[in-house]
Chains A and B, each alone.
Chain A
Amino acid sequence: MKEVLLEVVLGTLTAAVAALVLVPIFVVLKLLLDAGLEVLFPAVVIFGLLLAYILRRETVGR
């Protein structure tokens, strides 16, 4: 019973965290889309590549 309750609490917490992470990303995406493809496209590609570079640097040797 205690384990199930813990799983429910953790599940709810995780769903809330997922919303906190995802909602701002898609709000920004909508704003960029409204600004036009010529803004959205380079912004997403550059940010994605930058993120990949940072991940590579941070996870090297693991």
Chain B
Amino acid sequence: MDGDVLFIAFIVIVALVFDFFNGFHDAANSVATVVSTRVLSPLQAVVWAAFFNFVAAFGLGIHVANTIGKGIVETSIVDERVILSALIGAIAWDVITWRYGLPTSSSHALIGGLVGAAIARAGTGVIIGAGLERVSAFIVISPMVGFIAATFLALAVLQLYQRTAPSAVQGVFRRLQLLSAAAYSLGHGTNDAQKTMGIIAVLLFTTGHLGGEFHVPLWVILSAHAAIALGTLFGGWRIVRTMGLRITKLEPQDGFAAEAASAAAILFATQVGIPVSTTHTISGGIVGVGATKRLSAVRWGVAVNIVIAWILTIPASALIAAGVYLIAREL
């Protein structure tokens, strides 16, 4: 095996480590509401989420992987060092924000990393403006859609159960939340694992290991889903606390509304090929259900910190990745 192939294999492993961290950092958000409403214990919840993260490998398409692979930067300038720098930038930012319990987006960190490394290599001309614009717009759109959909769903549920005994309501929603959490983990698994798939596929394509046409091999699909599922299984409790307990206090019916609405938003984005942040979307959903009680029920201080971290993610990971690329180029 020659050195180039070994280097590519090493980068694929780094990409899967990123995916693992994505699960570690992000995926537990998808079960935060189940934990905060005490439907499942933290351990049961992460096992539940990890299972559906993996199952998402089957039958939900690869539109997001195609967007990441071909829609953000010109593939002609992508090489091993660009991909490695992008991954290091994204992982570094994920670790920093995880350390401080901030639920930022691994997805946007990866996109920021890719953009930063590409600019460091070949200037701003290689950025595909329309693709980056679409992704950037959805930084705002996805939490807003989560907020709107969760608000309407929470209001409908409130209307439906206004004359039902609270104990009966709790019983129904404790079960329904298992379904909404599963749907959310499915959405999370497919949208987030596809980002890693896109990165690995573009690496293989630009180094001539995919033949003449860009596609995502089956082994890449399965290994990306396995990595994110394992990450979910092993981590994320610190961020679960922020999402589920600190933004607003949740009842089982609120958790159901936030998750079902956010799951629908993620699956919609996946089908139209837009890489969105599950963290952003569930945050919008949680704020939405909190706001139907009263806006002051939402702890805005925490929400504002999260928004600041979101705004910083793409520039910060881009800067780190650009720095890493400039160092790697000299080696």
On A, residues with C-beta under 8 Å from B are 3, 6-7, 10-11, 13-15, 17-18, 20-22, 25-26, 29-30, 33, 37, 40-41, 44-45, 47-48, 51-52, 55-56, 59-60, 62
Chain B 208-220, CB-CB to A under 8 Å as 1, else 0, gives 0000000000000
Q: Given A7-B172, A14-B160, A30-B268, does the pair A55, B292 have CB atoms closer than 8 Å?
A: yes
Whether the pair B160, A59 counts as a contact (CB closer than 8 A) is no
Whether the pair B133, A44 counts as a contact (CB closer than 8 A) is no
- Give the residue of A20, A45, A60 whose beta carbon is less than 8 angstroms from that of B144: A45
Q: Which A residues are CB-close (under 8 A) to B173?
A: 14
On B, residues with C-beta under 8 Å from A are 133-134, 137, 140-141, 144-145, 147-149, 151-153, 156-157, 160, 164, 168, 171-173, 175-176, 179, 256, 260-261, 264-265, 268, 272, 291-295
Chain A residue, CB-CB nearest to B164: A10
Interface centre among A11, A22, A37 (most CB of B within 10 A): A22
22 contacts between A and B (CB under 8 A): A7-B175, A10-B168, A10-B172, A11-B172, A11-B175, A14-B176, A14-B256, A17-B157, A18-B156, A18-B260, A22-B149, A22-B153, A22-B260, A26-B265, A30-B268, A41-B137, A45-B141, A48-B144, A51-B148, A55-B151, A56-B291, A59-B294
Whether the pair A6, B292 counts as a contact (CB closer than 8 A) is no
Q: Which A residues are CB-close (under 8 A) to B149?
A: 21-22, 25-26
Compute how far the CA of A39 lies from the CA of B157 in the bound complex, rounded to whole angstroms: 30
A6 CB → nearest B CB, Å: 7
Whether the pair A22, B261 counts as a contact (CB closer than 8 A) is yes
Chain A residue, CB-CB nearest to B257: A18
Whether the pair A33, B293 counts as a contact (CB closer than 8 A) is no
- Give the residue of B141, B156, B171, B294 whose beta carbon is less than 8 angstroms from that of A21: B156
Whether the pair A40, B160 counts as a contact (CB closer than 8 A) is no
B282 CB → nearest A CB, Å: 15
Compute how far the CA of A53 lies from the CA of B141 in the bound complex, rounded to whole angstroms: 18
Compute how far the CA of A33 lies from the CA of B276 in the bound complex, rounded to whole angstroms: 15
Q: Given A37-B133, A55-B292, does the pair A15, B176 have CB atoms closer than 8 Å?
A: yes
Q: Given A21-B156, A22-B153, A37-B133, does the pair A59, B292 have CB atoms closer than 8 Å?
A: yes
Whether the pair B137, A40 counts as a contact (CB closer than 8 A) is yes
A13 CB → nearest B CB, Å: 7
Q: Which A residues are CB-close (under 8 A) to B134?
A: 37
Whether the pair A25, B171 counts as a contact (CB closer than 8 A) is no
Chain B residue, CB-CB nearest to A18: B260
Chain A residue, CB-CB nearest to B157: A14
Whether the pair A17, B156 counts as a contact (CB closer than 8 A) is yes
B303 CB → nearest A CB, Å: 12
